[in-house]
Structure 1
């Protein structure tokens, strides 16, 4: 998919470089800001096409609470933080606002995955971390953690996966903290796997 570079520059979370945003949208997004994707488990529910933001909003509201609903260019999880379908914001179908909100949330997901890997700076690992972050975005889960509602580990942004470009001067030394130590999770799986982060220098 192709998204206008000026739109990305103007609207994306400034913590993510435009090249990373493009890669993210290509892997997990939609070119149509009115896209509504509805899933029930692994099954995609076919929904009628919409031609106006009001139609998209009404369609999304009709499935909130009954299925997983993703909307807009970033395929943002529409039900996130919504207790009632009427609370769903029409802003999610504005291209710029969807990109801003979606890329900010993806940045958090990426940081969660990066911390779990032990904050790697090795080029051969970064691409895998990014791919896993995209998969976590699609599923809403990573190693037993609900990534959209999990605590943001914060800290420096992960080094971007490289594709032959020159080394980035902003590469950050790994943190000595284990990824699970900062994140009070309900899942025992996360705790069992915390030793992975402990191997980071």
Structure 2
């Protein structure tokens, strides 16, 4: 079942590996351990050890007006292949630069991704017939098209950021901060 692996979920993979070891169709071993580092009304931060010796820390910020910012920090001594992956519902979409606009009924929603300290390679795939990329499974034995957004980088450390918002939102990198519309956000 290829749709059970880490690479098809909304997370980061390291060196194309799973966070745990699959031993049978429904059994995984070497369970990664997660820990909540901080949380309050509009912010959550946690980490897990599924890629030892690489550390992976994720923060999620709820912003005004149903907008979201997700930041992934990955740190290691040597270089690794990091891939941030988002699997989105199969809506009509437009791709421009580092963002994608999803058309849902009368609205256009924006997903924008980037890195703060690396050159990333962005790809978008829908329902690739030769791989599991661009497919989702809402239950066992079922497969349906989806939109796979992947940002990849090769180096010892990387900080990925993802913004979920609306068509007219403007996201800019200013030094070591993100400027989203008129709000400047210092990244953790």
Q: TM-score, normalised by structure 2?
A: 0.25
State which structure, 1 or 2, has the greater radius of gyration over its C-alpha atoms: 1
Structure with greater proportional helix content: 1
Q: TM-score, normalised by structure 1?
A: 0.24
Structure with greater proportional strand content: 2
